[in-house]
Structure 1
Amino acid sequence: MMLWRLVKLLYRIGLCVWIFMLCTTHYYCHVYNLKTIPLHVTSPAITRYEILVGEPTCVVLSNPWLCLAFVVDICASTEYVGQACLRVCQTENWLYFGLGLLYLGRTVWCAYSTLTILNIMLKRCHRTTWFAPANTTVLAVAATWAGGGIVTIQKQWPKVLDLYTSLFVPYDVDADVSMLHHIGHMDIALIMAVYLGMMCSLPFAVAACSGVWNAVQRSTTKMPTLTRKTSFVSILIATNRRLSSIGSIGPIHAMEMVVEPPKHTGESSFHSNDFKHRLMLWFCNLGKLNHGVTCLFTEVDMYTGGSVYPLFQQCPDYQSQCTISQRGGDCYVLSYDRHDHLVEVTRVTLVSQIDLTVVHRPFRINQLTTNAAVGRFVVAKKSDAIRAATLHRGRSNSPWVS
């Protein structure tokens, strides 16, 4: 028993080191590239930058092997899963009930594993429009309540308890205490498979609930079918099916591209995030710039960047991870002039979020280089159904694009 605990300890230490390496090599090391001046080719005279660094959660959760490794860890801790299930079956001690819910929240790794595997399948079958990127925060909260809620609800049904009793008969009863009905071991492989299977289907349940909620919103507000409404709930629950699919795109012809200045779009603002990241950015005063910081422009004109999201909306195949939202990894760069006035807020995204290896390409992507710290992604139209895109990479093959 002590050897098994030592093996589990070393295994979990290895997982922690793995997460640390992913965060460092795939995210935090890239922040160093943002030190280059100027940030844009067309930037005004900037003397100081402030960087609001995002979080690498989306980068970590996009690794399917890491998610599966955590599922293996859950399967290797069945005794603690059983204790947590017993705790959520009672309501006399709410502390134990809460601890049981918290522990069963670990099963969210089953949902993350489903999304990473689903991403591979959708991209291979060119069906990325079937599923929108999921909000990992919503999944974590849903797993915490659903993981223990499933057990609590089943405990209220005597027929279900009788079924479990008949299916999972204890064995390996000690001979010397057989008269006391002392149970030595119990085979719970099947019940664990059923339980984890239900948690693996959690993303589809959240997507279905989101779809029903959006349908109710459209019916109550009498919105047209093709019109999408953005509300607090639609931002909080980002796991929903896309309302329309991408049609066929005609042949691609040559066209000249020029470097454009950063544009002010809705995707540039900090409002284009889920609730958790909006709250984090609000605490960084990004949500109230005009109230606490001396600025030269209005809030709408100040935000730039987010140029990759129009491409993702038109062609989700170009998302490296089309089932898990990657917006939380974006950084915001605040630019100040020599008078210490805030001139610009630029949203930058990792180039690694763009899948440049797509075989079936409705867009042609040209790659150029600039002398700026971050690149720029330009999607242009020459005529109806003819589109082209240019990725202007930053200096020293910058991993960021605005």
Structure 2
Amino acid sequence: MQQLAVSAKPVVVHVGLHWTSLVVSCLFTLNLVAMPFYFYLHMPIIPVEEEAVPGVNSTRAYVTSMQARYTPRLANQVYVSDVHSGIIALRTDLSSELLGLCDDHKALLVSRIQGSVFFSPSIQAMTIEFVCGKNHTNVDALWGHYYFGVHVANSVLWSSQHGDVSTICYLFDPFVHYWTCSILEFLSRVFLSGYIAHQCWRYFYDPVAQLFGDLRSNPQGKTCRNVQLVIGEPTSLVVSNAWIVLAFTMDILLHPGTLGSATLRLIQPFDVWGGVLGSLYFGRLVWVSYAALWLWNYLYKHSARLSPVSCTVCAWTTTVLGVVLTKIDFIWTLALQLFMAMFNVHQAVEAIDVTFGTIVSCVLYGLVPFGLAYVEGTYWRLCWAKINPTSFNGRAHRLAHGDVKLRFLTWLYRVHNKQDDATKSDRGSIYKLFAMDERSQRNATVSQNSTDCYVRSLSATMHQLDVARVSLASRIKWHKDMSLTFQSNLSTTSVLGELHVSEASDNSSSGPSVTLVGAKNALWVQ
């Protein structure tokens, strides 16, 4: 009887991308690439003057010119934003019902006037005299805004009386550069945008492409029919780059007039889109927080055990904090009076100096991420009592799953099995190394977890069989105290390795012993 040798057909494994994760990752990248141009939501690329404006030295002519230009536009509107020059004009009508505030609540009366956050003390007194009837002459005033001794903006105020209604118009005129400087600034932002795109591709998407190509040529698993690559996003890589952080921070500090425009847009209650633009600009102040985190990581990352801060949580916290503080009128009024009393290099009656206020604001935003790190550390101590946060396993679990954005994205992508979520999500040998040796983290202050990708093994019915969490090897900082050995493994891919970490003896002051199984120059570790 002839026996026929039947060879088993090899299992065909289909390797594909998780398209939802790819789209979300691209949206995060587009936001990063477009971020340098958010400045132009408040300022024109090249300012265009509709007509010649008299010099500031001619105070009366300057006020008259602005009054003639914007009074007709404010006749039917209470909020005007000039996209050609960056000027913001606001109108306030005070009826006789508010005159009862003249006796005991003058500060509250002034706060009802749009733009009063930038009134100098003399302008406030002049306005109260006009509104309360002590001075029947219309108010025409001009005062400057100074920043480190440089004249950066003008404020203009004029008033009129119509029966029992007092109308007060306020105009904020931030100085913009000449067209040559404006073009150079625009080109510098184009360069910064291109540099961000280059960093995203070189340090994230190119390794992802190599991982995907290697998985297609070397599919993981023998029983699965499908392999799916879930892609992370590169925001944390960008906000950890020193040059990008420096560029955004300097862009904010060198344009105080834009911050003044954003403040007025956020405070005024008439235009919803203007309020959104103001909120977006205050969101840019998160780069001051990123700068503080980078500086702390550079100087003290080995001596301070702070929880890594999620860049998305930090951005939202900074935006909400800026919006809330700006909306509280008495805080701005009190702060302005304090800044004027403590720091006014010009000692001019009709001038305000915003230098000290800007410094205090930057310090406040710089402290935000450290407050978040403290809150997150407290959360892990209170809510995860079953995992000892001071133990090795507790620290590894906190580092692997402390990023709120990552937890949301893995839930959105349905990466983990519902029945075995804990064991499936604890993969990632890199976090064991970080928990054992803090010096091995290249960036210990900004959470890099969102750059992690997941390799899912799926059955023919697309049921998840297994999931492997892979992290960028560039997150590891190899140092001289670390005992590092390599062990080749033909079953692994050429871009993917695995770390085996063993703790050093108690009597030894050296770092842990690490064995990298797989390719020596692996881009990813699992």
Give the TM-score normalised by the residue count of structure 2: 0.56
Structure richer in strand, relative to its length? 2
Counterparts in 2 of 1:172 and 1:149: CA distance versus 1, 3 Å: same
CA distance in 2, matches of 1:70, 1:382: 42
Bigger shift: residues 64-73 or 331-340: 331-340
Is the contact between residue 51 and residue 333 of structure 1 (CA under 8 Å) also seen in structure 2?
yes
Corresponding residue number in structure 2 for 1:58: 236
Is the contact between residue 502 and residue 512 of structure 2 (CA under 8 Å) also seen in structure 1?
yes
Counterparts in 2 of 1:398 and 1:337: CA distance versus 1, 3 Å: farther
Q: Which residue among 392, 398, 401 is the counterpart of 2:522?
A: 398
Corresponding residue number in structure 2 for 1:21: 198
Corresponding residue number in structure 1 for 2:182: 5
Q: How far apart are residue 5 of structure 1 and its match?
A: 2.1
Report whether the alignment pairs 1:142 with 2:317: yes
CA distance in 2, matches of 1:153, 1:345: 48
Counterparts in 2 of 1:300 and 1:2: CA distance versus 1, 3 Å: same
Once the two structures are superposed, what CA deviation does each residue of 1:41-77 show, in whole Å capped at 9, x if it has no partner? 9943555421111111111111112101100111232
Corresponding residue number in structure 1 for 2:297: 119
Is the contact between residue 266 and residue 272 of structure 1 (CA under 8 Å) also seen in structure 2?
no
Counterparts in 2 of 1:369 and 1:150: CA distance versus 1, 3 Å: farther
Q: How far apart are residue 210 of structure 1 and its match?
A: 4.1
**Which residues of structure 1 form unaligned runs of 5+?**
174-180, 229-242, 247-264, 291-297
Q: How far apart are residue 146 of structure 1 and its match?
A: 1.7
3-state SS, counterpart of residue 378 of structure 1 = strand
Counterparts in 2 of 1:169 and 1:11: CA distance versus 1, 3 Å: same
Residue type matched to 2:364 in 1? Answer: M
Q: How far apart are residue 33 of structure 1 and its match?
A: 2.8
Corresponding residue number in structure 2 for 1:197: 363
3-state SS, counterpart of residue 130 of structure 1 = coil
Corresponding residue number in structure 2 for 1:365: 484
Counterparts in 2 of 1:401 and 1:208: CA distance versus 1, 3 Å: closer
CA distance in 2, matches of 1:153, 1:342: 51
Is the contact between residue 375 and residue 393 of structure 1 (CA under 8 Å) also seen in structure 2?
yes
CA distance in 1, matches of 2:423, 2:328: 51
3-state SS, counterpart of residue 65 of structure 1 = helix
Corresponding residue number in structure 2 for 1:277: 406
Residue type matched to 1:368 in 2? Answer: Q
Corresponding residue number in structure 1 for 2:246: 68
Is the contact between residue 308 and residue 373 of structure 2 (CA under 8 Å) also seen in structure 1?
no
Q: How far apart are residue 151 of structure 1 and its match?
A: 3.6
Report whether the alignment pairs 1:108 with 2:286: yes
Once the two structures are superposed, what CA deviation does each residue of 1:100-153 show, in whole Å capped at 9, x if it has no partner? 222111010011111111111124xx31x4222111111101110222333444
CA distance in 2, matches of 1:91, 1:156: 18
Report whether the alignment pairs 1:160 with 2:289: no
Residue type matched to 1:10 in 2? Answer: L
Once the two structures are superposed, what CA deviation does each residue of 1:140-176 show, in whole Å capped at 9, x if it has no partner? 0111022233344474464433233444477999xxx
Residue type matched to 1:74 in 2? Answer: I
Give the TM-score normalised by the residue count of structure 1: 0.71
CA distance in 1, matches of 2:340, 2:524: 56
CA distance in 1, matches of 2:376, 2:422: 29
Once the two structures are superposed, what CA deviation does each residue of 1:299-348 show, in whole Å capped at 9, x if it has no partner? 56656740111121122111111111111100001124678664321100
CA distance in 2, matches of 1:304, 1:169: 58
Q: Which residue among 281, 306, 309 is the counterpart of 2:431?
A: 309
Once the two structures are superposed, what CA deviation does each residue of 1:10-64 show, in whole Å capped at 9, x if it has no partner? 1211111111011101111111332325999994355542111111111111111
3-state SS, counterpart of residue 398 of structure 1 = coil
Is the contact between residue 84 and residue 101 of structure 1 (CA under 8 Å) also seen in structure 2?
yes
CA distance in 2, matches of 1:394, 1:300: 26
* Cα RMSD (Å): 3.9
3-state SS, counterpart of residue 360 of structure 2 = helix
CA distance in 2, matches of 1:212, 1:380: 29
Once the two structures are superposed, what CA deviation does each residue of 1:282-315 show, in whole Å capped at 9, x if it has no partner? 332324577xxxxxxx556656740111121122
3-state SS, counterpart of residue 55 of structure 1 = coil
CA distance in 2, matches of 1:164, 1:5: 31
